[in-house]
């Protein structure tokens, strides 16, 4: 049987033999190691010399290759397609089509070695449904964590469009003011199948003229209520925050991950370190928006904000990293020009724009991202008892990180002990 035709049978162990294993806990590579998978878990990992073969073992020869833990993108929008004409697309897209966009986009992440993605907000219904389909192995795809609808302060930005569209949006997403209102919103997201809560404390770059990145949303008591209720229900909280005031209030409330963090400063960095909070920098989103071919298709106010905010991002994230803030990887994939499956660029941004070593950047994409989304007990490192989510690379990304950009450099992408993709092609069909 050829290696690229491999599919383990139900009674065999999957053995990945003689590879060089990236140890995300130490940031080093262990040479000539073998990994044994039983079911969907890693049963053993150790030196080749200590490996005992069994009769029914199904073998993948990883000699000369590097084995990574499955990588994680902590901030994507799977229903979004990266077109600058996103408003027009939404008006010409039925809700039912979102399932198919999301599946295609999820698989684009998978074939590029990202075996887990966190979807940070979108229309309800499709997220939990797709998560269940992928969990059951009906089709190939990464693990999904979904937020469903974000919890946004009502009236926080201008709304433009036909009355019927605006009224539909109100009925779908309005959150009542006050502690009881936001607590109910958290519970409603839990009921709808969300894994975590996404909220916002500032305006955004893409959200229009009246959406200011330096405006601060929610009362402190409301933010504390969101966090307290989410944690009580076993959910973590992610917060879109660009401006300094909004980041500060989110950090003071103990929100687990700060998304974007464009105007983070040293004082906020020290608070985040003290509280053990994570920054998800999403630099790829700003850099993609700033491409001339994208900018020319955007409204003038968005162009202005893009240039201003990106300049702050490239300066302030360095400050945060040098202070010791914990970073995890997220792209905001789906925003204009920011295509799904291109998360390798964000890992490279951490080296080029933030100052990480290649080892630190890979740790950010694996164990640090797993910690950020509260799943480091099962993801992010190659250890006995963790999920068998693995990526087998032809060469060492620590030496040449750009290999991560091309899915054809991945001999196998394995999730839950099943080979899902090979050389950029989905090969798992139940």
CATH number at residue 8: 2.30.40.10
For 123-181, the DSSP string reads -SSHHHHHHHHHHTTSB---EEEE--S-B--TT-S---S-HHHHHHHHHHH---SSHHH
Statement to judge: residues 335 and 393 lie in one domain: no
Among 46, 50, 15, CA closest to 33: 46
- The predicted pLDDT at position 274 comes to 97
Q: Which residue has the higher pLDDT, 30 or 160?
A: 30
Statement to judge: residues 150 and 271 lie in one domain: yes
Statement to judge: residues 253 and 389 lie in one domain: no
Confidence grade of residue 2 (pLDDT, cut at 50, 70, 90)? very low
Give the CATH number, domain containing residue 342.
3.20.20.140
- The predicted pLDDT at position 306 comes to 93
Cα separation, 179 vs 332, whole angstroms: 29
Whether residue 6 has pLDDT greater than 50: no
Statement to judge: residues 234 and 176 lie in one domain: yes
Three-state secondary-structure class, residue 308: helix
CA 247 distance to own-chain centroid = 20
Report whether 110 contacts 140 (CB < 8 A): yes
Task: For the beta carbon of residue 176, count every other beta carbon within 10 angstroms.
Answer: 11
Statement to judge: residues 359 and 296 lie in one domain: yes
- The predicted pLDDT at position 160 comes to 67
Whether residue 250 has pLDDT greater than 60: yes
Residue ending a domain, choose from 327, 351, 372: 372
Widest pairwise Cα distance in the chain = 70
Is residue 1 packed enough to be buried (19+ CB in 10 Å), middle (13-18) or exposed (0-12)? exposed
Q: Which residue has the higher pLDDT, 167 or 34?
A: 34
Q: Is the dihedral of CA 191, 192, 194, 196 positive or negative?
A: negative
- The predicted pLDDT at position 173 comes to 86
Statement to judge: residues 176 and 38 lie in one domain: no
Taking residues 116-136, report their average pLDDT: 94
Statement to judge: residues 413 and 280 lie in one domain: no
Residue ending a domain, choose from 330, 351, 372: 372
- The predicted pLDDT at position 162 comes to 73
Question: Tell me: the pLDDT tens digits for 20-45?
Answer: 999 999 999 999 999 999 999 999 99
Taking residues 324-343, report their average pLDDT: 97
- The predicted pLDDT at position 158 comes to 65
Terminal CA-CA length for the chain: 19
- The predicted pLDDT at position 23 comes to 98
- The predicted pLDDT at position 212 comes to 87
Report whether 256 contacts 238 (CB < 8 A): yes
Statement to judge: residues 90 and 151 lie in one domain: yes
CA 157 distance to own-chain centroid = 26
Question: Tell me: the pLDDT tens digits for 412-424?
Answer: 999 999 999 999 9
Statement to judge: residues 34 and 123 lie in one domain: no
Range(s) of the domain holding residue 187: 71-372
Sequence-distant (6+) residues with CB within 8 A of 272 are 251, 258, 264, 278, 279, 320, 325, 326
Statement to judge: residues 58 and 179 lie in one domain: no
Q: Count up the domains in the chain and report the number.
A: 2
Statement to judge: residues 286 and 401 lie in one domain: no
Taking residues 350-364, report their average pLDDT: 98
Statement to judge: residues 409 and 364 lie in one domain: no
- The predicted pLDDT at position 168 comes to 80
With a pLDDT cut of 70, the percent of the chain lying above it is 96
Residue ending a domain, choose from 372, 394, 414: 372
Whether residue 288 has pLDDT greater than 50: yes
pTM: 0.94
- The predicted pLDDT at position 299 comes to 87
- The predicted pLDDT at position 32 comes to 95
Whether residue 209 has pLDDT greater than 90: no
Taking residues 137-155, report their average pLDDT: 95
């Amino acid at each position: 049987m050829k290696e690229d035709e491999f599919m383990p049978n139900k009674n065999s162990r999957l053995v990945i033999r003689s590879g060089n294993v990236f140890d995300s806990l130490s940031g080093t590579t262990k040479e000539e190691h073998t990994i044994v998978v039983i079911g969907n878990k890693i049963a053993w990992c150790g030196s080749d010399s200590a490996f005992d073969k069994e009769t029914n073992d199904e073998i993948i020869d990883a000699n000369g290759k590097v084995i990574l833990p499955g990588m994680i993108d902590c901030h994507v929008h799977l229903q979004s397609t990266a077109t600058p004409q996103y408003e027009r697309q939404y008006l010409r897209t039925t809700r039912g089509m979102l399932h198919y966009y999301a599946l295609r986009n999820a698989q684009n992440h998978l074939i590029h070695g990202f075996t887990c993605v966190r979807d940070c907000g979108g229309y309800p219904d499709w997220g939990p449904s797709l998560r269940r389909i992928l969990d059951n192995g009906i089709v190939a795809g990464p693990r999904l964590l979904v937020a469903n609808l974000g919890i946004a302060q009502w009236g926080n930005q201008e709304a433009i469009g036909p009355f019927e569209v605006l009224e539909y949006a109100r009925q779908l997403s309005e959150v009542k003011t006050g502690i009881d209102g936001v607590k109910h919103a958290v519970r409603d997201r839990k009921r709808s199948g969300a894994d975590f809560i996404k909220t916002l404390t500032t305006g955004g770059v893409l959200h229009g003229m009246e959406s200011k990145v330096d405006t601060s949303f929610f009362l402190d008591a409301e933010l504390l209520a969101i966090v307290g209720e989410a944690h009580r229900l076993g959910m973590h909280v992610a917060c879109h925050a660009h401006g300094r005031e909004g980041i500060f209030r989110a950090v003071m409330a103990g929100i687990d991950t700060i998304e974007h963090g464009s105007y983070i400063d040293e004082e906020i960095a020290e608070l985040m370190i003290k509280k053990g909070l994570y920054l998800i920098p999403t630099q790829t989103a700003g850099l993609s928006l700033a491409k001339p071919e994208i900018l020319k298709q955007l409204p003038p106010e968005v162009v202005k904000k893009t240039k201003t905010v990106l300049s702050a991002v490239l300066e302030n994230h360095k400050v945060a990293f040098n202070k010791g803030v914990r970073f995890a990887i997220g792209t905001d994939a789906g925003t204009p020009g920011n295509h799904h499956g291109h998360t390798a660029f964000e890992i490279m941004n951490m080296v080029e724009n933030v100052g990480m070593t290649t080892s630190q950047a890979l740790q950010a994409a694996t164990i640090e991202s797993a910690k950020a989304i509260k799943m480091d007990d099962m993801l992010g490192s190659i250890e006995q008892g963790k999920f068998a989510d693995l990526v087998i690379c032809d060469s060492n990304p620590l030496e040449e990180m750009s290999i991560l950009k091309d899915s054809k450099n991945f001999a196998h992408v394995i999730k839950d002990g099943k080979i899902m993709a090979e050389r950029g092609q989905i090969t798992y069909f139940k």
